[in-house]
Amino acid sequence: MDLKLHEQLSFYYDSWDSWQVNLTVTDIDESGQEDGNNLPRVIDGAGFGILEDFGGVGRLGEIASLVKRDGVTAHRSELNWSGQWVPDNFTFDFYDQDDLNFRLKRLVQAYRQVYENHLNFGAKMAAILDREYYPGAHQKEEEPAPSVEVDLPLVVQQLKKADGSNITDGKLARINNQLIAAFIEDLKKNGKLSEKTVKRYHDELTFYLIGYLTPRKATLFGWIATDIGELYFKGCSDDEIKRLRAALNKLNKFLVTQGVVTPQWAREFKQGLKNSIDVGHDYAKETFSDNDDGLW
């Protein structure tokens, strides 16, 4: 598309909500020095942006005024009704340029994979698409200092109490980080697994406990935790669910050896994962088997 300086491009998104996006060419870099690896890139902006399936500009303006007046808690059911979760400290003025660029690069890859290669993208990419991860989750987490010991019994107690409560996303994420840190440190001390495998366990648990469960006010000790079969409907593949299942079972085995959960609890959790996967897989296959877009 050969647009000239100051020319404008308008496009419509979502025939139901009818978003109209206007783009204006304000500058053209002809130096040839721009690194293609840094494109596309957001260089400035303001505000959170649209909420999917929300009713368009009019409805978004109404809910923005209500949230500004009453706060998020009073209107959480309205904000979450379309399935797009927002953090407790959400405001429509929220703007995180690093987060936008983190999502932008990955979404380009995701849409190319779906529309050009006719493949489905996994649960992690779906979570990025829906912003269903704790803000800042794309940033590298700092591990606790070696001299700091994680009080594992206290962490487990806090997670049990937090499930389904009004705890803030940030506080719940920090508690989950302590749980993951204690588990990863034990794996490293054991020395039987490769660095790559340890990192995979870390990434799987961070995605699920912090990125997926935390925005839902859920923890490892709530009934939602075993319902990973639901991830088939987020675009998760068999391999992704297999890796997540292995990470959760490995974590629970660690908790048993530390004496903070019972073997019976771990067995029931393991069985719950299996049941959820079996049901989710069969139902998803039945639902999408007649789909002619090649995504199943």
- Are 222 and 239 within 8 A, CB to CB? no
pTM of the model: 0.56
pLDDT tens per residue across all 296 residues of the chain: 678 889 998 888 766 778 888 889 998 888 877 776 677 888 888 887 777 767 788 888 888 888 888 887 777 777 765 555 566 667 788 788 877 887 787 777 677 766 666 655 555 666 666 666 554 444 444 444 444 578 999 999 999 999 988 888 878 888 998 999 999 999 999 888 898 999 999 989 988 998 888 888 899 999 899 999 888 777 677 888 899 999 999 999 999 999 999 999 999 999 999 999 988 887 766 655 544 443 44
Smallest CA-to-CA distance from 159 within 170, 143, 172, 168 is with 172
Q: How many CA atoms lie within 13 A of 100 on its CB side?
A: 16
How do the domains of the chain map onto residue ranges? 1-95, 96-296
| Cβ count near 73 (within 10 Å) | 10
